[in-house]
Structure 1
């Protein structure tokens, strides 16, 4: 029965909840914007790692090159989208 219980998934779920609560600390008044953005960035990065490793099983394949290439491609597309949106909507270019 022990091998049927998804211990890693439960730990990942609890970790995700803790990271979400840590991200919610930026709602506290008096935290400077720079500190708040640092907290949000760190918790978002940690949350992405937890999701990739525990729920998407990123380390459980033989073909690691194509897997990591896909992840890097997704990160690049996401960053282009984010900074392109900032460039157009916030910075006025």
Structure 2
């Protein structure tokens, strides 16, 4: 470890990230259960909140901006995104034929 590394005594970044995650989750829950909006609007808001939640997790908890090897992290993120798309698309495809 180099001399430039600074360790905080209290994890404020994690606390703020956790609270923001809870707020986004409760907004999605309210939209889904109590908003009275159309299904299309509900799905659009929930997908938007999910993308915001994922970005929040990446930057607040997974230390996306703290690595020295940006290229490796970019490749890992693209691979993770590909796997997530395959899992979601595959699940929808399977459910489409079962239902």
- TM value normalised by structure 1: 0.87
Structure-2 residue corresponding to 1:30: 36
Displacement of 1:29 in angstroms is: 5.4
Displacement of 1:72 in angstroms is: 1.1
Structure-2 residue corresponding to 1:52: 58
Displacement of 1:59 in angstroms is: 0.7
Displacement of 1:5 in angstroms is: 1.4
CA deviation string 1:9-63 (max 9, x = no partner): 1111110111011111211152111111111111111111111111110110010
- TM value normalised by structure 2: 0.82
Pick from 2, 19, 22 the counterpart of residue 17 of structure 1: 22
- Structure 2 gap ranges (5+): 1-7
Which sits farther off after the overlay, 24-33 or 36-45?
Answer: 24-33
Pick from 64, 71, 80 the counterpart of residue 65 of structure 1: 71
Task: From the superposition, tell whether residues 76 and 36 of structure 1 become closer, same or farther in structure 2 (CA, over 3 Å).
Answer: same
Structure-2 residue corresponding to 1:84: 90
Q: Which runs of 4+ in 1 moved over 4 A?
A: none
- Structure 1 gap ranges (5+): none
